[in-house]
Structure 1
Amino acid sequence: MRSMLVIGLGRFGRHLAIKLVELGNEVMVVDTDEDAINKMAPFVTRAQIGDCMDEDVLKSLGVSNFDVCFVCISDNFQSSLEITSLLKELHAPCVISKTDRDIHAKFLLKIGADDVIYPERDMAQRAAVKYSAKNTFDYVELTKDYAITEMSVPNQWAGKTVLDLNIRSKYNINILGFKNNGDVTPLTDPHYVLQANDHLVVAGNKQDVFRLMDKK
């Protein structure tokens, strides 16, 4: 369990805070909108009305005690920039700032953000790949070169084992597990017989993953 601070309760901030709680973290949310705070209060550890562009407000939160501070303000870049800078000046150990533009990301990183996230861009790219490739149910880029995807078992693989198919050597990808009836099981037995209704969770270089996703 980690201690998280989420500043800004737009759609992304709300979803982020709720998911962080579901994952077992202690989560405090802060926003200037009283209504937004009241709606979130039942779902998080603490909820407080406050303007985080005010240094005294940030000091009162004890930001250095949070493992991660998220700045989820995208409609006002100046606010996002100033809050990110203040958090680092107050010794917040890890600051993650939301953005939707590369030029904004450069400034945020320059003034001290430990990382930036592009939720709209990332979801758009994920959806584009998911719905462009055949037999694909989900897709996540871990780096610019490496990806994980959930895909159906190619027809010619059904009824064969991972060992029989020599998948790692032939296709240069790793099968992390298989999903059946909604449950994901790690694939540790090379003698497991792949079923036609399995969903495979595979990882590898993006180009190798793309080639595999188009395999019938």
Structure 2
Amino acid sequence: MKYIVIGLGSLGREIANYQTKIGNEVIGVDINMRQVESIKSNIAGAICLDSTDQEAINALPIKEVDAIFITYGKDFGISVQTVALLKSLGAARMIVRTISSIHETVLRSIGVREIMTPERDFAAMYVAQTILGDRALQWDRITDTHHLYKMKTPEVLIDQSIETINLEENFNIRLVAIERLIEGKNLLGMTQKRYEVINHITNDILIQPNDLLLVFGKTEDLRKLASL
């Protein structure tokens, strides 16, 4: 998948580095050249520009990426201006950090649906890692008893077919999708590895090393799977 991360402070760098680590393509953006220089060798590309300048931000591949993260942690105004500008330029999906309840209210009033609250999100990830250990990558609570997890594949499942594994029968867990590492060209024409989503799960699919599993089930059942 392809992302733009606007704001390369602590949170922005963490997001950019993590998404790159799991095979996604990231372009980082910041008005501070020092921040750009600190990360440019770690991700697909890093650009120094003012995200409130329409001419500058219009040069970004806004419509070619899967999502844009806006991670400003101090300036309420710049965050809102950036979001409004990106919306006017056709950004399909934005994930925006909030710094206060008022900030969140303003963002939602202009149509932002996905909000980041780092402290709350960190707590959720802590819960996920308590259950699944280091295998946990992402976590969503669907109900009090059922959760959706993205997790690293247990080694014992590698090279086995979906039919053989039979997660529903053996663990009472549903496999929703697989993210598989492939090699392709990035937005800058360079060869880069990235994850491709397989959402049509058939019995003949073999689990490969580096596959990420999106699974749904009860907490206790997911814990059993993670312990393999």
Fold shared by both chains (TM-score > 0.5)? yes
| Structure 1 partner of 2:66 | 67
| Structure 2 partner of 1:25 | 24
Whether contact under 8 Å (2:74, 2:99) holds in the other structure is: no
| Structure 2 partner of 1:76 | 75
Distance 1:57 1:91 in 2: 15
Distance verdict in 2 for CA 1:103–1:174, change over 3 Å: farther
1:5 is paired with a residue whose SS is: strand
Amino acid at match of 2:70: V
Distance 1:148 1:121 in 2: 17
Amino acid at match of 1:92: A
Amino acid at match of 2:44: T
| Structure 1 partner of 2:86 | 87
Distance verdict in 2 for CA 1:129–1:114, change over 3 Å: closer
1:30 is paired with a residue whose SS is: strand
| Structure 1 partner of 2:141 | 143
Structure 1 residue 141: Cα displacement? 4.8
Distance verdict in 2 for CA 1:64–1:203, change over 3 Å: closer
1:113 is paired with a residue whose SS is: coil
Amino acid at match of 2:67: V
Whether contact under 8 Å (2:173, 2:218) holds in the other structure is: no
Distance 1:75 1:105 in 2: 13
Is 2:1 aligned against 1:5? no
Amino acid at match of 1:50: L
Distance 2:125 2:22 in 1: 22
Relative contact order, higher structure (CA 8 A, sep 6+): 2
Amino acid at match of 1:49: C
1:124 is paired with a residue whose SS is: helix
Distance 2:65 2:2 in 1: 5
Please list the CA deviations of residues 169-212 of structure 1 after superposition, one character each: whole Å capped at 9, or x if unmatched: xxxx7498xxxxxxxxxxxxxxxxxxxxxxxxx96467x89xx9
Structure 1 residue 71: Cα displacement? 0.5
| Structure 2 partner of 1:15 | 14
Structure 1 residue 6: Cα displacement? 0.6
| Structure 1 partner of 2:122 | 123
| Structure 2 partner of 1:37 | 36
- Residue pairs, 1:49-68, within 5 angstroms: 49-68=48-67
Amino acid at match of 1:117: M
Please list the CA deviations of residues 69-100 of structure 1 after superposition, one character each: whole Å capped at 9, or x if unmatched: 11011211211111111101100121111124
Structure 1 residue 16: Cα displacement? 0.7
Whether contact under 8 Å (1:84, 1:112) holds in the other structure is: no
Amino acid at match of 1:46: G
Amino acid at match of 2:140: L
1:142 is paired with a residue whose SS is: strand
- Structure 1: give runs of 5+ residues left out of the alignment: 151-165, 177-201
Distance 2:139 2:39 in 1: 30
RMSD: 3.5
- Structure 2: give runs of 5+ residues left out of the alignment: 152-168, 176-214
